Amino acid sequence: MPNFANPFQGNVNKKISKEELIQAVRLDIAGELEAVFLYDAHAMATDDEVAKKVLCDIRDEEKAHVGELMTLLRHLDPEEAAHFAAGEAEVHEMLEELGLTPKEQAADNKISTSAATVGSLIKE
């Protein structure tokens, strides 16, 4: 949660090491995920359609931030990236055991497996 009482809360008084940066990025990811949870909870708690639309849009932007930060984390710590890839492979194996491919699973859950691009968002 925000800590606005101290205006210097987020300031870092020195250049940080790569290891400290990795830790900071992990904390940033946690903050973005918390924001996703809060915006989603607020959207589910209201019947106001305008509020729902705005909150869901902001929530989705936070999800994009998670993706950006995860990409940065993979860049900063390739060893951690290998752990992420191993975990993804384990889930893919489980899906295969269930007779599902990742695309079929996404379709079952109405999740797109292809990322939106600026060009794909343009309505013709």
Do 93 and 46 lie in one domain? The reply is: no
Do 59 and 89 lie in one domain? The reply is: no
| Contact criterion met (CB below 8 Å) for 55 and 48 | no
pLDDT tens, residue by residue, 9-53 = 777 788 889 999 999 999 999 999 999 999 999 999 999 999 999
Q: Which residue has the higher pLDDT, 97 or 120?
A: 97
Structural domain count of the chain: 2
Domain coverage including residue 108: 79-112
State the Rg of the chain over Cα: 18
Q: Per the domain annotation, does 9 fall within a domain? A: no
Model pTM above 0.75 = no
Please tell me the distance from the alpha carbon of residue 100 to that of residue 95, in angstroms, as a whole number: 5
pLDDT tens, residue by residue, 86-112 = 999 999 999 999 999 766 656 666 554
Do 22 and 62 lie in one domain? The reply is: yes
Q: Pull the structure tokens for residue 65.
A: 């931030």
Q: Per the domain annotation, does 57 fall within a domain? A: yes
Q: Per the domain annotation, does 22 fall within a domain? A: yes
Do 50 and 89 lie in one domain? The reply is: no
